[in-house]
Chains A and B, each alone.
Chain A
Amino acid sequence: MWTYVKWECRRQFRLVRFWGSLFSLVLLGALFAYGYSQMHGQAAVMDYVGRGLANGFFVPILALIMSTSIMLPFFVTLFSADSIAGERQLGTWATLLTHGVNPWSAFWAKWLVGLGYGILATVVLSGSSLMAGFLLFGLHGSALPSGINAAPGDFWRILMMMMGYAVAGLAVVSTFALIVSAFSRHAVSAIMVTMGSLIVLAMLGDLPFLTRVRDLFFTSYFSRISDVLSYPPNGAALWHGLVVYALYMVFFSALVLWFQPFRD
């Protein structure tokens, strides 16, 4: 499997779209910082993010809040949904199978690489927005939405937790996209199904009568990130989210194990 991971990475590094997506994320981080500087002092933002707006730490926090529900999953979906379905479309999946490559090795390798991409995307977005935030506002202690003053060390911890949580969420999205991809003949279908499902889930969460269901099953990045921002962070809520994520992963893995959709 590690040989496959090596070749999968090597392949991705040759693709312009891989580097293009990372460049877009860098640009996105910088745009968040610029947009943040334009929102300076707006009450609605202050209520949500916190009062210490003139703080570079808030830029990656805001960037993650804004992008973990749709934007980052979109990048991850494009990456993972294309993996098996894209290869099927290109015909290289058949080449691998006829050459005796174990499809499970290929699947798990693609899963790991997809996960790696999710981590990379989060780090690139957070890094670029942090860098731009630092240049615009500097890094210093500030007030959280709860009214508690947090030192720079606390912000680092918060940022790390948010990144970790975003990565966990992206892992679920990436796994879902990969599974849809394993069942699809065309990359576009896999991307549309994955993105469509994410949008529908996000919309379901907004329906008042589904609030309880959403809290139980559709754990969302937003709610968990606000739990991270509480001081001290809401550990029980975070664990609940992680357990739900884990259950999704188990369910997705069971789907693949049951159907083994690698051959026609």
Chain B
Amino acid sequence: MAIAVDVEGVTKFYGKTAALENVSFSIDAGSALGLVGPNGAGKSTLLKMLLGLMRPTRGAIYYNGQPLWPDPASAMRQVGGFVDTPRFYPYLTGRENLMMLAELTHGSARRVDEALHYVHLDGAAEQRVGGYSHGMRQRLGIAAALMKRPGLIILDEPEDGLDPARLAEMRQLLGRVRQEYGSTLIMSSHVISDIERLCDRIAVFDNGRIRYVGPVNTLGSRIPEEILWELWPVERGLRYLRNLGLDARPAGEGRIAAVWDGSLDLGQVNAALMREGLAVRTVMRRTASLESRLLAYLEDSHVDVR
């Protein structure tokens, strides 16, 4: 059963430094929330608290209306996931590591084998984890999470440190998990396209606070789309478009980009350009990616986004 999550006014102090300040949000059962933001923004701290590894200084976390604390162990039976890289005993085999976790939480050997098969680790199940590659460990971490049939999956940068081939594999795996298990998903990532692909909601963190939480497609939605013209001569085209009242700028390689708010008819503008004797080669509509919308959003919030 998918788990609904409520985070209410969660604050975490390390000594006198606040790692998280008054963070609140809710997610419905079965939905997916992506956490984004610069390093040190508080994403991992929040994930640690959601995984019961860290107590909040103030505030509360509820899973399906039940408080996570003071007994996170019982809640964790239905939550799968990891923070940073999943860690296992290097001198035990992959299968032994999962068997241990299963036996300690009354799981079954059948689920272990199913989970290993699901992440394509059946062939390496009898190898010691010490000999696993980073990608294999990530997949073993996902297998450990999946063998509980979790209602909530929490992943911290699951693509971290993977080469392009393993990254594609991981994306595919996470997509499949979402589709087949229907679990609620909370994941942090620096790969914004993955957040866009896997999550329906996004939470933007900065300096321990949530700057935005809501649907992915409304983040920075006021950022208008752009039209990209490839034409010649560029200087005349630029002058003409500016005369039309457009915020046009050279975009390199004989192209002009202009912010498009939809107040003019694009067909008429193109026709007018041609009437002016400009050679229009291509016209392209460019919607702002989530990444650029996120960057614009953070810049607007006067945030250092190094």
Contact = CB atoms under 8 A, between A and B. Distances in A.
Interface of A: 3-4, 7, 10-11, 14-15, 90-92, 94-103, 105, 263-264
Interface string B84-107: 111111111000100011011100
A103 B72 CA distance: 10
Contact of B52 (A11, A90, A97): A97
Contacts, number: 81
A7 B91 contact: no
Contacts of B148: 99-100
B76 A100 contact: yes
Nearest to A11: B89
Nearest to B87: A91
Contacts of B29: none
A14 B92 contact: yes
A11 B92 CA distance: 7
B53 A99 contact: no
B51 interface: yes
B73 interface: yes
Given A264-B53, A264-B55, A99 B87 contact: no
A115 to B, nearest CB: 20
A53 to B, nearest CB: 45
A263 B55 contact: yes
B83 to A, nearest CB: 7
B144 A95 contact: yes
A99 B89 contact: no
Contacts of A263: 52-55, 72
B105 A100 contact: yes
B103 A7 contact: yes
B82 A97 contact: no
B74 interface: yes
Contact of B73 (A4, A92, A102): A102
B100 A7 contact: yes
Given A3-B104, A264-B55, A97 B73 contact: yes
A14 B91 contact: yes
20 contacts: A3-B104, A11-B92, A14-B91, A15-B91, A91-B84, A95-B82, A97-B51, A98-B53, A98-B76, A98-B80, A98-B81, A100-B75, A100-B78, A100-B105, A101-B73, A101-B101, A263-B53, A263-B55, A264-B53, A264-B54
Nearest to A104: B73
A66 to B, nearest CB: 33
A93 to B, nearest CB: 9
A97 B77 CA distance: 10
Interface string B61-79: 0000000000011111111
B100 A90 contact: no
Contact of B104 (A7, A90, A91): A7
B3 to A, nearest CB: 13
B171 interface: no
Contact of B86 (A15, A95, A101, A102): A95
Contacts of B103: 3, 7
Contacts of A7: 100, 103-104
A188 B276 CA distance: 78
A10 B55 CA distance: 31
Interface of B: 48, 51-55, 72-92, 96, 100-101, 103-105, 144, 148
Contacts of B91: 11, 14-15
Q: In the complex, which of the residues B48, B54, B87, B92 has the most CB atoms of chain A within 10 Å of its own CB atom?
A: B87
B204 to A, nearest CB: 25
Contacts of B80: 98
A186 B22 CA distance: 31
Cβ-closest 7 pairs across A and B: A91-B87, A100-B76, A100-B77, A264-B54, A98-B51, A14-B91, A7-B100
B74 A99 contact: no
Nearest to A16: B91
A95 B104 contact: no
Contacts of A92: 87-89
Nearest to A105: B104
Contacts of A4: 104
Given A96-B104, A100-B75, 17 more contacts: A11-B89, A91-B84, A92-B88, A94-B51, A94-B53, A95-B86, A95-B87, A97-B53, A97-B76, A99-B101, A100-B78, A101-B73, A101-B101, A101-B104, A103-B73, A263-B53, A264-B48
B132 to A, nearest CB: 14
A102 B71 CA distance: 9
B155 to A, nearest CB: 11
Contacts of B55: 263-264
A102 B53 CA distance: 12
A145 B55 CA distance: 58
A121 B148 CA distance: 39
Contacts of A264: 48, 53-55
Nearest to B107: A99
Nearest to B99: A7
